[in-house]
Structure 1
Amino acid sequence: MLHRRLLLVLAATGLVLAGCATTPTAEQHPPIVFVHGNGDSASIWQSTVWRFESNGWPRERLHAIDLPYPLARDDDGKAQPGRTSTAEHMAYLKAEVEKVLQATGARQVVLMGNSRGGNAIRNYIQNGDGAARVSHAILGGTPNHGVWAIKGFREANEFSGTGPFLTRLNAPKNAAGDEVSGPVKWLTLRSDNNDKFAQPDGVWIGAKGTPTNVTFEGPALKGATNTVLPRVDHRETSFSPAAFEATYRFITGKSAQARTIQPETPVVLNGKITGLGLRPTDPASGNYSNNLPLPGAQLAVYATDAATGARLGNAVHSRTVGADGLWGPFTAQPGMQYEFVVSAPGYATTHIYRSPFPRSSNIIHLRADRPAEADKSAKSSTTLTRPRGYFDATRDKMSFDGKALPGVPPAGAGVSSSKINLSQDDSRPIAAEFNGEKITGRTWPMADGHLVVLELTY
Structure 2
Amino acid sequence: MTLSTLVSRRRVLWALATAAALLAGCRTAPPTPSAPDPFQPIVFVHGNGDNAAVWTTTLWRFESNGWPRQRLYAIELPYPLAREDDTKPQEGRTSTAEHMQFLKTEVDKVLKATGARQVVLVGSSRGGYAIRNYIANGGGAAKVSHAVLGGTANHGVWADAQNRPGNEFNGAGPFLTGLNAPKGPQGEEVTPGPKWMTIRSDVNDKFAQPDGAWIGSKGKPTNVSYDGPALKGAENVLITAIDHRETAFGPKAFSAMYRFITGRAPATTAIAPEGRVVLDGKVSGQGPGNDAAKGSYVNNLPLAGARVEVYATDPATGERIGQAVHRKTVGADGLWGPFEASPATPYEFVISAPGYATTHIYRSPFPRSSSIVQLRAERIADADRDGKAVVTLTRPRGYFGIPRDVITLDGKSPPGGIPVGVAGVSTAKLKLLDSPSRSVVGEFNGERIVGRAWPTADNHVVFLELHH
Please confirm whether the aligned pair reaches a TM-score higher than 0.5, indicating the same fold: yes
Specify which of 272, 284, 308 is matched with residue 299 of structure 1.
308
**Which residue number corresponds to residue 339 of structure 1?**
348
Q: 1:382 aligns with which of 378, 391, 410?
A: 391
Query: 1:238 and 2:248 equivalent?
Result: yes
Given candidates 360, 363, 387, the residue that maps to 1:354 is: 363
Residue 325 of structure 1 aligns with which residue? 334
Cα deviation for residue 303 of structure 1 reads 0.3
Is 1:162 equivalent to 2:172 in the alignment? yes
**Residues 332-389 of structure 1: CA deviation (Å, up to 9, x unaligned):** 0111100000000000000000000000000000000001110012110011100000
Work out which of the residue numbers 203, 216, 221 in structure 2 matches 1:206.
216
- CA deviation after TM superposition for structure 1 residue 259, in Å: 2.2
The equivalent of 2:411 in structure 1 is 402
Give me the identity figure in percent. 64
Deviation digits for residues 219-248 of structure 1 (CA, Å, limit 9, x no counterpart):
000000000011000000000000000000
Superposed displacement of residue 208, structure 1:
1.2
Would you say the 8 A contact 1:394–1:412 is kept in 2? no
Aligned match of 1:126: 136
- Partner of 1:69: helix, strand, or coil? coil
User: How is 1:73-88 mapped onto 2 (pairs within 5 angstroms)?
Assistant: 73-88=83-98
Paired residues for 1:24-423 under 5 Å: 27-278=37-288, 285=294, 287-403=296-412, 404-423=414-433
The 1:299–1:170 alpha-carbon spacing in structure 2 relative to 1, beyond 3 Å, is same
Query: For the aligned residues, what is the CA RMSD?
Result: 1.4
Structure of higher CA gyration radius:
2
CA distance in 1, matches of 2:269, 2:164: 42
Q: Which residue of 2 aligns with 1:7?
A: none
Tell me how far apart the structure 2 counterparts of residues 247 and 296 of structure 1 sit (CA, whole Å).
Answer: 39
- Deviations, residues 185-222 of structure 1 (Å, cap 9, x unaligned): 00000000100000000111111111000000000000
- Would the aligned equivalents of 2:351 and 2:377 in 1 still touch at CA under 8 Å? yes
Partner Cα distance (2:444, 2:410) in 1: 12
Aligned to 2:439: 429
Alpha carbons 1:321, 1:327 under 8 Å: kept: yes
Deviation by residue 1:245-269 (Cα, 9 ceiling, x = unmatched): 0000000000100220000121000
- How far the C-alpha of 1:284 sits from its partner, in A, is 7.5
CA distance in structure 2 between the partners assigned to 1:391 and 1:245 by the alignment: 22
Cα 1:341–1:184 change in 2 (3 A) is same
CA contact (8 A) 1:26 1:106 kept: no
For residues 378-406 of structure 1, give each alpha carbon's deviation from its aligned partner in whole angstroms, at most 9, with x where no partner exists.
Answer: 11001110000000011001111101211
Partner SS, residue 278 of structure 1: coil
Greater helix content: 2
In the superposition, relative to structure 1, how do residues 283 and 401 fare at CA in structure 2: closer, same or farther (>3 Å)? Answer: closer
Task: Report the Cα distance in structure 2 between the residues aligned to 1:253 and 1:30, rounded to whole angstroms.
Answer: 13
- Separation in structure 2 between the aligned mates of residue 443 and residue 263 of structure 1, nearest angstrom: 30
How far apart, CA to CA, are the structure 1 residues paired with 2:243 and 2:268? 23
Is the Cα–Cα contact under 8 Å of residues 302 and 340 in structure 1 kept in the other structure? yes
Distance verdict in 2 for CA 1:186–1:279, change over 3 Å: farther
Cα offsets for 1:422-445 (capped at 9, x unmatched) = 112341000011000000000000
Secondary structure of 2:450's counterpart equals strand
Counterparts of 2:61 and 2:38 in 1: how far apart (Å)? 16
Compute the displacement of 1:151 (Å): 2.4
Query: Retained in 2: the 8 A contact 1:39–1:70?
Result: yes
- Runs of 4+ aligned structure 1 residues displaced above 6 Å come to none
CA contact (8 A) 2:198 2:229 kept: yes
* Distance of aligned partners of 1:283 and 1:143 in 2 relative to their CA distance in 1, 3 Å threshold: closer
Q: Deviations over 1:9-67 (max 9, x none)?
A: xxxxxxxxxxxxxxxx7621100000000000001000000000000000110000010
SS at match of 2:327: strand
Contact 1:235 1:389 in 2 (8 A): yes
Query: Structure 2: where are the runs of 5+ without partners?
Result: 1-34
Give the C-alpha shift of residue 292 in structure 1. Answer: 0.2
Evaluate the alpha carbon distance shift between residue 76 and residue 177 of structure 1 in structure 2; reply closer, same or farther with a 3 A threshold: same
Please tell me whether the aligned partners of residues 75 and 157 of structure 1 are also in contact (alpha carbons under 8 angstroms).
yes
Unaligned runs of 5+ in 1: 1-24
Distance between the aligned counterparts of 2:215 and 2:289, measured in 1? 21
After alignment, is 103-112 or 174-183 more displaced? 174-183
Amino acid at match of 1:114: S
Q: Is the 8 A contact 2:389 2:436 kept in 1?
A: no
Q: Hey, what does 1:18 align to over in structure 2?
A: none
C-alpha contact (below 8 Å) 1:35/1:113 kept by paired residues: yes
Contact 2:254/2:269 (<8 A) preserved: no
For 1:30, what is the secondary structure of its paired residue? coil
Hey, what's the Cα distance between the residues in 2 that align with 1:316 and 1:214? 51
Mapped contact 2:285–2:298 kept (Cα < 8 A): yes
SS in 2 for 1:188: strand
